[in-house]
Chains A and B, each alone.
Chain A
Amino acid sequence: MLGPPGATQSAQGRTALPVTTGNPPSATFPWERPLTSTTPPTSTSLSLPAPVPYPFNEQGDGLGLHAAYADAREGAGMVRVRLPHGEPAWLATRYEDARFVLGDLRFSRAMALENDEPRYNAARSKPSILSMDPPDHTRLRTLVSRAFTRHQVEGLRPWVRELTSGLLDEMVAAGSPADLVENFALPLPVQVICELLGVPASDRGQFRVWSDALLSTTRLTEDELKENQDQLTGYLAGYVAERRADPRDDLMSGLIEARDAKDRLSEEELVSLCVAILVAGHETTASQIPNFVWTLLEQPEEWQRLVDDPELVPGAVEELMRYIPLGAGAAFPRYAKEDVEVGGVLVRRGEAVVVSLGSANRDPARFDEPETLRFDRPANQHLGFGHGVHHCLGAQLARMELQEALRALVTKVPGLRIAGEPEWKRQMLVRAPRVLPVGW
């Protein structure tokens, strides 16, 4: 049974949603807190604008970016927001401010653990590589980064090409229509990250449950979230013990060696790092593959452009990374270690800032015609992989997987089309179809 034709579906895509939550930020806030003010942080609440409810995007379908972001970019740039949990924060919406906050070492991720950090779920985040500052962060990151260099990643490309080809052959053989997520978008990154880490891809059904739980916002209770965290941690701790007894040629064995031989990683860091790699290593890529397909099939001339010339795929991947606001809202707050001026606003020591990558990536001050897909966009320094010390560790791997996935799709199933209503993820940090029926 086929769904409605593509034309009907495009209506619910990226059209900006109407402003329905709270008051949209405007240029009328009293930003003029003098930069020379000596008011201590404890009494600044009186001079700060009232925070607006955040995230702007409601839990809805599609990959739209709320109109409030454009209003904020054109207005104050830095906006006071209140997330569902934790203290209020500044929201950076402009490209320049976003890049500055992510890249400046006066902003700390570690301080989020000591504060009531702005967040989507009641549960506090656990210490991980994402909540560390240099030099602790650097120590961990250099250990793992060797597995994710371009050199290493290029070595995996032929195998990934075979994998994408094999998965599509199986999907096509089983007949149209099929769920692109279950048959292609999910198994590909899961198999890649499992291969790298050294855990069996056959457990991927279980990873999906745990990973969904760890990236959920309000879907689970605090107890349920903790239970899932503990299960995944226990699962990986089991493999760590196994690899310690019987090392192999995989990333986990390499990390264990770094832990045991050089004493550079604590056991807790080791397991938490494996959790981070497993979750971050597949959920985002598995989400971006259907997001790419959805976005391209909404603009069929762009899909056709890639079918006609697959050499455009690498540029298309960069542009789609820029264009698609993957995150449901800005996350991972940074805390100012001292007073810092950002985009004309004084962020006081101890105040939190969240950065909207999706908004920064559509900033007309940085990108010409930001609402238009342009595969040949020059110097496409998008923030899709973030920026600064927490810039995506797996960016090169993700790029290679996304390039191979897209190349395989446009060459093997050039007639791909949406064949039914997608089912969108709900209450997750990342947005994407959970189920995407496609035909060919």
Chain B
Amino acid sequence: MGAWHIEVDENVCVGSGMCAALAPDRFVLEGPAASVVQGAADTDADEVLLDVADSCPASAVTVTDGESGEVLGPRP
């Protein structure tokens, strides 16, 4: 389990590609919706992931604390 956990809600995703642009090692946009790169969902804490969650125009990216499950991003 990594320190943080990232998810993309593919039903909400509008395919803007923001996540894949800001963190190409963790997100990929192939087809109609973005997804987390295989094996990258549990990750070390990284500020850029909060930027990704904030920048998503559909708020489809969620960053949670790997231990507590607390939602860290998008920031309110």
Residues of A that sit less than 8 Å from B by CB: 99-100, 102-105, 134-135, 138-139, 141-142, 145-146, 149-152, 154, 379, 381, 385-389, 391-393, 395-396
Chain A residues with CB under 8 Å of B74's CB are 149-151
- A103 contacts across to B, CB distance below 8 A: 14-15, 31-33
Q: Mark B11-47, 1 if CB is under 8 A from A, else 0.
A: 1101111100110000001011100000000000000
B59 closest partner in A (C-beta) = A150
Shortest CB-to-CB span from B55 to chain A, Å, is: 5
Q: Are B57 and A142 in contact (CB under 8 A)?
A: no
Separation of A142 and B51 alpha carbons in the complex (Å): 10
A-B contact pairs, 29 of them (CB 8 A): A99-B32, A103-B14, A103-B15, A103-B31, A103-B33, A134-B17, A138-B17, A139-B21, A141-B18, A145-B18, A145-B55, A146-B51, A149-B55, A149-B74, A151-B54, A151-B75, A151-B76, A379-B11, A381-B11, A386-B14, A387-B14, A387-B15, A388-B14, A388-B15, A389-B15, A391-B14, A391-B16, A391-B57, A393-B57
With A and B bound together, what is the CA distance between A104 and B16 in angstroms? Answer: 11
Q: CA of A134 to CA of B14 in the docked complex: distance in angstroms?
A: 15
Task: A407 to B59: give the CA distance in the assembly, Å.
Answer: 22
Q: Determine the interface band of chain B, counting residues with CB < 8 A from chain A.
A: 20 to 34
Residues from chain A with a CB closer than 8 A to the CB of B22 are 142
The closest CB in chain B to the CB of A389 belongs to: B17
> When the two chains form their complex, are residues B32 and A100 in contact, meaning their CB atoms are under 8 A apart?
yes
Q: A103-B33, A389-B17, A396-B57 are in contact. List 15 more A-B contacts (CB 8 A).
A: A99-B32, A100-B32, A102-B15, A103-B31, A104-B31, A135-B21, A138-B17, A142-B18, A145-B55, A146-B55, A149-B55, A150-B59, A150-B74, A388-B16, A391-B57
B residues less than 8 Å from A141 (CB atoms): 16, 18, 21
B residues at A contact (CB < 8 Å): 11-12, 14-18, 21-22, 29, 31-33, 51, 54-55, 57-59, 74-76
Docked-complex contact B55 and A142, CB < 8 angstroms? yes
Given the known A-B contacts A141-B21, A146-B51, A381-B12, are A392 and B57 also in contact in the complex, defined by CB atoms under 8 Å? Answer: yes
> In the complex, what residue of chain B is closest to A379 when comparing beta carbons?
B11
